[in-house]
Amino acid sequence: MDYLASVSAHILLYFIFIAGLGKYILGKSSVWSIGHIAFWGLGGLVVGSLTVDFGVNAWIALLASVLFGIIISFLIGLASLRLDGDYFVILSVSLSELIRVIAIEYRGPGGFNGIIRPTFFGVSLENDWLFIVLALCPFVIATIIITLRLEQLHLNRIFLLVKENEILAKSFRYNPVYYKILIFCIGSFFATLSGGLYSLFIRGTDPSTTTLYQGVLLFAISLLSGINTLKGVLLGALLFVAAPRMLEYIITAPGSATYSYNIIQLVYGILLLIVVLLTSRVPVYQK
Amino acid sequence: MVKFNKTLWITIVVLFVVLFFITIAFLKPFSDKSKIRIGSVLILSGEYKSYGEYFQQGALLAAEEMNSSQKQQIELTILDSEGSKEKALEKLKALKEQKNIHFVADVMGTAMMRHVIPFINENKILVLSGVNTGPELSGEGGSFFFRIIPSDGIASQQLSKWAIESGFKKGAILYATDDWGQGLRKALDKSYRDLGGEIIDSRDVEVNQTIFQPIVSLYKETKPNVVFLVLYPKTAALFLREVKKQGLQTQIMGTDNFTASELPDIARDAVDGVNFIIPQPAGEPTPQQKNFLELYNLKYGIGKKPHIFTTMAYDCVKLLAKIYQETQGDPERAAKTLEMIQYEGASGHIAFDKNHDVVVKDFSRKVYKYDKVSKKASILDAK
Amino acid sequence: MDNLIHGLTIGSIIAFVAFGYALIYSILRFINFAHGEIIMVGAYICYFLYHTLGISSFFLSCFFAMLITGMVGVGLEKIAFKPLRNRSRLSMLLSSLAVSLILQSLASLIFGTSPRILTDFDPTITVLSKTFYVREIVVMIVLPFLAIAFFLSLKYTQIGLAIRAIASNQARAAHIGIPINTIISISFFIASSLACLAGIALGMEGGLTPSMGFKYSIWAFAVSVIAGLGSMKGVLIGGLLYGILLNYAIAYGSGLFADALSLVAVALILLIRGKGFFQIKLREF
Amino acid sequence: MTDILLKIDRLCLQFDSKFLFKDISFDGMAGDIVGLFGPNGSGKTSFLNVISGIQESTSGSILYYSGSPKFKTYFDISTFKGGIVRTFQIPELANSLSVADHLLLADSYFSMNICSLINPVNYHTQRNISCTPKALKYIRRFGLESKLQNILSTLSYGERRLVANICALLTGSRILLLDEPFANLSIQACDIFKEIVLEEINSFNKMAIITEHNPDNMISFATRYMHIQNQKLIELPIETLNESKMRNMLYTMSIEYG
């Protein structure tokens, strides 16, 4: 049951992250935030440093990390979202590397240890299942409600307009930069939130989950699955979390002492290629 | 006929995944008493994956040897932690729940080991570590953690002593950016200063770094007597070549992973004169060592030298299997037995102190000699 | 001064990789993660020819490796990128990532993850009391000629003209009868062969590992972007400058920070300037 | 009452060493409908680009509503005071949005009120036509109300052109720059559109610059008549447009150059 708890928690956490990256940033703007994993790392870093070094309550630390993430993403958006898509990619990649390196420099490659999980109105969340039900599920449900609500707003229409055609948006007097920054902040909010929650769940931080390669993989999966629907986001989270574990179980199951992990990677790569070649979900990016 | 639209597809996939995980969560682990079940959580993907594979080689060698010679077979399950501590914990949970494994030959990486310590003590999982040298694990591991490799604290003292004895008072450290490198660097820094040496420069090296020219140029100006390399063999070899190329005159000192054949293979003639220590007594190889070397060469090629991780893995698995047989797979009794054990392995004599660290082995000092005619490097005992 | 010279030697190999990258990037404009893997594949092919098949001359096996890697590049293009050409740049990015995963795991399966040693020789040469590897000198000498060749052929030959036409507007180029498929295949061939050469030079330095290329695809991308679209002069200068930047970051910073810092420096330059250097002006409407 | 909306003074545009136009001066009054002619490549579109800030001029000054915005980008100019809007030769539209979405987005009511962003509008419901009354009135005149919920990429060229034109009117900007608005339109649609433009211009004190190849379309519609030739902007009396001989000459000329 511990394993199941761990897998479900990962699915929920990556659901929030992929919702932020896929549904918002990629679905409602043309910002290519390849290094979006940086905000996941940032959330963990802030939560870890506040709770371990300063002894702040975990909920407050989570709030602070989310606010910090929004501020950072606002500043980055302000400075860079006027740029062409590929320039932003460079900025995003360098940001993700920078945050990872800062995290390692600040607390060593192992990250923080010994973050104390918060209580939920007096209920201790030390048990994994309690944590999932009382701390993760409310955030996931909130994510779903916010996302569904936004679909109804006029704002959503403006986001789509800006994504599709910036010239037209300018003709209609909407400044594309403002809306891009707004959507980038929303996406970063979810990424920081999931990163912070992750560090609470594992009672520490883990810089090795924020490498560029992980980030690129998450970007790819968000892109493939999460663009139009929340169902897609769920599918993406399952693809990222459950698929490697299922492959692992199937390949190791029949008592085989050895096999190479490269087979899993190979199967994963081939699956990705087939999906890309067959799917038409990937949106047409317009210059 | 049901129309297969997108929603239906997604629902099917989600249901399938959920059912899959619920099934494996409630599936009773298949407990076959006739087999010795041992697990391993290694780093088999990412930048450090070749080091996980060194360990895997040794573990498989031990399993094969024992399976061919005795009736009770070893069933080895090796999982990948991807270098992430949370994944390591999760894989340990998987080992326990899906395979009912309570004997684990190493959770690779000090940070990962520290992260899983509460879990192993709660669930009575015996972990015998062969590669985790972090000094912070001494005494913190609880009653179910043992290691057969000496802590960095001891290795660093030995290394510093050697350097000071040779008259090198001005040192520089190059260390790998992972937790092993940083831990050993701190220990080395402290012990070298305690003995009266001076560290003039210490800088980190990324695992895949290929650029060492600026560092060597810098050392040519600051002129350290000795450069301690707390690096993995590949990066160390690249540094050595750069030293040779730029003609830097200094003594190079390294640690036990310099035994890997990667180092002389890549560094070639630059390896000549490199000093390093290994946690094995000097002198003639013991029968166990000879046996291991023979097996290794049989499987992986004549003339190859095993990486220290391979040796340690071989010992880990053999020792665990032996304990398992003696205690019929009861981890608590096994832990008690391990505390008292006296065992001769390929890495030397193994016994544990009260911190569950291996009782300090004799370190022996080694030096690389490069023969220009045959173009072969050999390891000799240093004077 | 030392650092400057070392930076140039590193920068020239980055520029070497970036030439091929920029060629593909300027035509198809997608972020190609597979290019780093082509470097690795090229080096392994050379290893296979030289060691396993036992071709006696190293240079001969280098030559054949370049040819074969070129073919591999063309084949990959046909399988993974051609079907997506009139989709979007993002789907090409995805399929390049998938190709990168596949190639890396294949290389690990076939050759294992511990370093393979390409050659047991790596001669050095002393120039002006500084020691260099011969391969560094070769790369540094070949590089300017390569740059000039690229520049001239892009400007004055039929193929160069066709490449520029495709880069500026693919649909229109197809419409006026430019054989798009052939031209793109040719550029993939050239880019992959160059990557193979770079891979051999890198392999002679530190042995071959399956993950040796990933870093270079990021660096080459950074150089291509900062150089500006379709500017080979920019790639040359950008690559050299990037090498120097990296060198200084390691000398005065740390190995951990070097990659991040040099990328951040590139990002800052782009932020301040707002566009690449040496950009060829395209009409927007 | 005539107020000057657009004042252009000695405007030059240079590509490399070649002048596209040189020292152009022009005053646009409220109520003007300027027909801009010229052979292909004479710089009609570039002229509109320079006015709307998409292209930078080499020298010269442009005053909008007797003022000038701080930055001269398309967005800054298009939101400056009374505003500028322009359409393009190839209509710029968001292909995955519906016609109703475009109209709603374009209507100045929504673009000006921040609170309306958070206000839910029936986005998915098909029945309640989500459209402002003014937009509905225009779209009805073209008989397009059945296509309100259609996605733009499913429309024909003519319909796309119409949507782009109507959106330009709906933004409420007082200076309209229309680049070949009659291309792909049927004769009836042309006439209806002209009526609407006239209504808008007269009732809201707007002005329009319209480029066009075919002078037939501009008879008894344009109030001024301009011609770009030899890097100059030449204003001819409006009566010349009514002479069929002159018209034919103009038309053949623009075809020949093209």
Structure confidence by residue, pLDDT tens digits, A7-60: 999 999 999 999 999 889 988 888 888 899 999 999 999 999 999 999 889 999
Residue whose C-alpha is closest to residue D58's, from D70, D43, D69: D43
Per-residue pLDDT, D246 = 67
Per-residue pLDDT, D226 = 84
Q: Which residues, in sequence order, are bridge partners of residue D27?
A: D7
* C104 pLDDT more than 60: yes
Chains touching chain C, criterion 3+ CB pairs below 8 Å:
A, B, D
What is the separation, in whole angstroms, between the first and last Cα of chain D?
40
Residue whose C-alpha is closest to residue C106's, from C46, C191, C37: C37
Give the list of residues 6+ apart from residue A239 with CB closer than 8 angstroms, or none: A221, A224, A225
Mean of pLDDT over chain C: 85
Per-residue confidence band for C63, with pLDDT thresholds at 50, 70 and 90? very high
Per-residue confidence band for C46, with pLDDT thresholds at 50, 70 and 90? very high
Task: Supply the CATH classification number for the domain B153-278+364-381.
Answer: 3.40.50.2300
Instruction: Give the Cα separation of D250 and D7 in Å (integer).
Output: 27
Per-residue pLDDT, B381 = 80
Would an 8 Å CB–CB cutoff place C281 in contact with chain D? Answer: no
Instruction: Give the Cα separation of C189 and C74 in Å (integer).
Output: 6
Per-residue confidence band for D244, with pLDDT thresholds at 50, 70 and 90? low
CA atoms within 13 A on the CB side of D108: 13
Kindly give the residue spans of alpha helices, DSSP state H, lying in chain C: 2-28, 34-47, 58-76, 89-111, 134-156, 158-168, 170-175, 180-206, 214-227, 232-252, 255-273
Instruction: Give the Cα separation of D135 and D225 in Å (integer).
Output: 30
D122-131: long-range pairs with CB below 8 Å, 24+: D123/A151, D123/A152, D123/A153, D123/A156, D123/A157, D124/A151, D124/A152, D129/D100, D130/D100, D130/D104, D131/D100, D131/D103, D131/D104
Burial of residue B381, with CB atoms counted within 10 A of its CB: 0-12 exposed, 13-18 middle, 19 or more buried: exposed
* C237 pLDDT more than 70: yes
Considering the domain boundaries, does residue C279 fall inside one?
Answer: no
Higher per-residue confidence, C129 vs B216: B216
Q: Which chain A residues touch B56 with a CB distance below 8 Å?
A: 258
Per-residue confidence band for C284, with pLDDT thresholds at 50, 70 and 90? very low
Per-residue pLDDT, D127 = 43
Would an 8 Å CB–CB cutoff place B70 in contact with chain C? Answer: no
Per-residue confidence band for A257, with pLDDT thresholds at 50, 70 and 90? very low
Using alpha carbons only, give the angle B270, B271, B272 rounded to the nearest 5 degrees: 90
Residue in the block written with tokens 């909306």: D5
Q: Which of A43-52, A135-144, A244-253 has the lowest mean pLDDT?
A: A244-253
Per-residue pLDDT, A285 = 33
DSSP C55-73: -S-HHHHHHHHHHHHHHHH
Considering the domain boundaries, does residue C282 fall inside one?
Answer: no
Per-residue pLDDT, B3 = 57
Q: What is the pLDDT of residues C200-226, one digit of tens each?
A: 988 888 788 888 888 888 889 888 888
Q: What single DSSP character describes residue B225?
A: S
Give the list of residues 6+ apart from residue B136 with CB closer than 8 angstroms, or none: B110, B114, B183
Give the nearest partner residue to C6 out of B50, B208, B214, using CB atoms.
B214
Cβ contact, residue pair C259, B238, below 8 Å? no
Q: What is the pLDDT of residues B86-128, one digit of tens each?
A: 899 998 998 888 888 889 988 888 888 988 998 989 888 999 9
Higher per-residue confidence, B79 vs A190: A190
* D129 pLDDT more than 80: no
Q: List residues of chain D with CB under 8 Å from any CB of chain A.
A: 74-75, 78-79, 83, 85-88, 92-97, 101, 104-106, 108, 110-112, 116-121, 123-124, 167-168, 171
Would an 8 Å CB–CB cutoff place C205 in contact with chain B? Answer: yes
Q: What is the pLDDT of residues C144-173, one digit of tens each?
A: 888 888 888 888 888 888 888 888 777 788
Domain count, chain C: 1
Tell how far CA D153 is from the center of its chain.
22
Run of H or E residues at B26: helix B6-26
Residue in the block written with tokens 């090296």: B205
Q: What is the pLDDT of residues B117-134, one digit of tens each?
A: 989 898 889 999 888 888
Instruction: Give the Cα separation of C225 and A86 in Å (integer).
Output: 7
Would an 8 Å CB–CB cutoff place B189 in contact with chain C? Answer: no
Handedness of CA B297, B299, B304, B307 (dihedral sign): negative
Would an 8 Å CB–CB cutoff place A268 in contact with chain C? Answer: yes
What is the separation, in whole angstroms, between the first and last Cα of chain C?
47
Q: Which residues, in sequence order, are bridge partners of residue D233?
A: D228
* B30 pLDDT more than 70: no
Is the separation of the CB atoms in B232 and B254 below 8 Å?
no
Q: Which residue in A37, A89, A94 has the most chain C C-beta atoms within 10 A of its own C-beta, making it the best mutation to test that interface?
A: A94
Instruction: Give the Cα separation of A197 and A47 in Å (integer).
Output: 9
* A280 pLDDT more than 60: no
Out of 1.10.10, 1.20.950, 1.10.8, 1.10.3470, the CATH code matching A2-278 is 1.10.3470
Residues of chain B with CATH 3.40.50.2300: 35-150+289-350, 153-278+364-381
* C267 pLDDT more than 70: yes
Q: What CATH number did the domain enclosing C47 receive?
A: 1.10.3470
- Residue type present at position A256: S
Give the nearest partner residue to A172 out of D88, D105, D118, using CB atoms.
D105
Instruction: Give the Cα separation of D258 and D254 in Å (integer).
Output: 6
Per-residue confidence band for D43, with pLDDT thresholds at 50, 70 and 90? confident
Q: What is the pLDDT of residues B135-166, one digit of tens each?
A: 888 878 788 898 888 888 888 888 898 999 88
Higher per-residue confidence, C207 vs A186: A186
Range of the domain at C118: 2-273
* A190 pLDDT more than 90: yes
What mean pLDDT do residues D13-25 have? 81
Per-residue pLDDT, A198 = 94
Task: Supply the CATH classification number for the domain B35-150+289-350.
Answer: 3.40.50.2300
Instruction: Give the Cα separation of C163 and C160 in Å (integer).
Output: 5
Q: Which chain A residues touch C267 with a CB distance below 8 Å?
A: 80, 87, 90-91, 94-95
Q: Which chain C residues touch D54 with a CB distance below 8 Å?
A: 284-285
What mean pLDDT do residues A102-121 have? 86
Instruction: Tell me the domain boundaries of chain A.
Output: 2-278
Q: Which residue in A86, A96, A227, A281 has the most chain C C-beta atoms within 10 A of its own C-beta, making it the best mutation to test that interface?
A: A86
Residue A156's CB is within 10 A of a number of other CB atoms, namely 18
Give the list of residues 6+ apart from residue D89 with CB closer than 8 angstroms, or none: D45, D179, D180, D183
Question: What is the percent of chain B with per-residue pLDDT over 70, rounded to a whole number?
Answer: 97
